[in-house]
């Protein structure tokens, strides 16, 4: 079955991430008294961020009665503010190698390009605006985790793009991401290919246990996978 849509993650997959997301997440938690090392934070960064905050609190807060929706939303607001500021003004924002060329090649093949993320839509918009992907005519869809009932690993973000793109079969969709939760999102959707990249939080050895259909080191490699 032909590929009609490729869905990409943002940080670590298409956008360079020097632990910037994890550091902002760590900072937001630390402001409420939770000192959590980056090695615990990195693996959960693909999740919708209030879910990631909830997971960290249940690990590090012994008094479950303190883990309230109010606390979670307060921490999340701090994280969102830091991320929007970072992606709007930092000099370090850049795409990973061959990303824009790959987007362009896919669209030349008549394949839609979608972006989804564990970020809220406002953070995602800050990234896309900064990189001028719409002005460059590189993407067709953008979905944030707050636009659907539940974020990854649930299939709702991909299904939203499929509906917008008039795509009926999940086997016509390819999911590309750098984390375990990206892989599970693609699998839960029933995507034809679920491609993991080693440019983000997980090494090849760390990705293999989740059984993506492919693991690649350069995003441009997915073009040959699709063509073959």
Is the pLDDT assigned to residue 185 strictly greater than 80? yes
What is the average pLDDT across 211-223?
A: 98
Task: Give me 71's structure tokens.
Answer: 């606390």
Q: How far apart are CA 216 and CA 222, in angstroms?
A: 8
Task: Judge whether 119 and 81 are in contact, CB under 8 Å.
Answer: no
123-168 per-position pLDDT tens digit: 999 999 999 999 999 999 999 999 999 999 999 999 999 999 999 9
pLDDT at residue number 90 = 87
pLDDT at residue number 99 = 98
What is the average pLDDT across 64-70?
A: 96
Supply the pTM of this predicted model: 0.90
The contacts found for 220-227 with CB under 8 angstroms, 24 or more apart, are: 220/97, 220/98, 220/101, 220/102, 222/6, 222/102, 222/174, 222/176, 222/193, 222/195, 223/102, 223/105, 223/106, 225/193, 225/195, 226/3, 226/6, 226/106, 226/109, 226/111, 226/174, 226/193
Residue 111: band (very low, low, confident or very high) from pLDDT cuts 50, 70, 90: very high
**Going from the N-terminus, what domains does the chain have, and what CATH number goes with each?**
5-17+92-227 (3.40.50.1000), 20-89 (1.10.150)
pLDDT at residue number 228 = 85
Number of helices (H) and strands (E) in the chain: give both, helices first.
10, 6
30-57 per-position pLDDT tens digit: 999 999 999 999 889 889 999 999 999 9
Is the pLDDT assigned to residue 17 strictly greater than 90? no
pLDDT at residue number 92 = 83
């Amino acid at each position: 079955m032909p590929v009609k849509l490729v869905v990409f993650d943002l940080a670590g997959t298409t956008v360079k991430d020097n632990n910037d997301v994890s550091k902002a997440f760590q900072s937001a938690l630390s402001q409420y008294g939770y000192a959590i090392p980056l090695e615990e934070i990195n693996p959960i960064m693909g999740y919708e961020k209030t879910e990631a905050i909830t997971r960290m609190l249940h690990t590090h807060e012994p008094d479950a009665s303190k883990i309230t929706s109010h606390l979670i939303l307060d921490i999340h607001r701090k994280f969102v503010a830091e991320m929007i500021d970072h992606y709007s003004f930092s000099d370090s924002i850049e795409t990973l190698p061959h990303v824009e060329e790959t987007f362009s090649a896919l669209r030349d093949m008549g394949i839609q390009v979608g972006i989804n993320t564990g970020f809220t839509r406002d953070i995602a918009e800050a990234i896309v605006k900064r990189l001028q992907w719409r002005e460059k005519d590189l993407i067709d869809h953008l979905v944030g985790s707050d636009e659907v009932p539940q974020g990854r690993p649930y299939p709702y973000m991909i299904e939203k793009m499929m509906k917008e793109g008039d795509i009926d079969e999940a086997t016509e969709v390819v999911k590309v991401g750098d984390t375990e939760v990206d892989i599970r999102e693609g699998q839960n959707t029933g995507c034809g290919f679920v491609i993991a990249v080693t440019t983000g939080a997980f090494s090849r050895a760390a990705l293999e246990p989740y059984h993506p259909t492919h693991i690649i080191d350069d995003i441009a490699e997915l073009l040959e996978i699709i063509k073959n």
